[in-house]
Structure 1
C-alpha cells in the first residue's frame, strides 16, 4: 500500500512538471501576445487578479525580466467570494 501511494505521487508530480509554463488567459496582462514593459526593477514580483470563466477569480504572479517585460510564473483559480 505504501509503495502504491509513493508511485501515484510520483506519477502526479511527473504530470504536473510536464505541463509547461502557465498560459495567459483572457484578462491576463500578457494575453494575446501583448508585450508590456514595466517601470519596476528586474526581479520584482507583480500580482494580478481578475474574474475568469464561470465566475472564478484568477490569481497570477509575474516576474519582471531584465528587459523590463513581464513573465507569467504562476496562475491559480479560486472562488470570487469569501465565506464569513
Structure 2
C-alpha cells in the first residue's frame, strides 16, 4: 500500500511539472487556431473573460506580440457568482 501511494504521488508530481503553456478553450480569443491581430503596441496585456464549462468563469491574459498577434500567457477559472 505504501509503495502504491508513493507511485501515485510521483506520477502526479511529474504531470504537474509538465503543464506548459495554457491551451485555448472554446470561448478563448485564439480558440481553434484563430489569429487575432491587435491594434495595440507589442507587449500590451489584453484580458478576456467568458463563461466556460460547467458555469465557471474563465479569466485569460494575452500579450500582444511584435507582429500584432495575441499570445495566451495565463488562464484561470473561478465561480461565476459572489457570495454575499
Name the counterpart of 2:3.
none
- Structure 2 gap ranges (5+): 1-8
Aligned ranges 1:26-65 → 2 under 5 Å: 26-65=26-65
Q: How many residues align?
A: 74
- Secondary structure at the aligned position of 2:42 is classed as coil
Name the counterpart of 1:25.
25
Give per-residue Cα distances to partners, 1:45-84, cap 9 Å, x unaligned.
0000000000000000000000000000000000001112
- Secondary structure at the aligned position of 1:32 is classed as helix
Name the counterpart of 1:75.
75
State the 4+ residue runs in structure 1 displaced beyond 4 angstroms: none
- Structure 1 gap ranges (5+): 1-7
Q: What value does the CA root-mean-square deviation take over the aligned residues?
A: 1.5
How far is the alpha carbon of 1:17 from its aligned partner?
3.9
Query: Residues of 1 paired with 2:17 and 2:39: CA distance?
Result: 32
TM-score by length of 2: 0.81
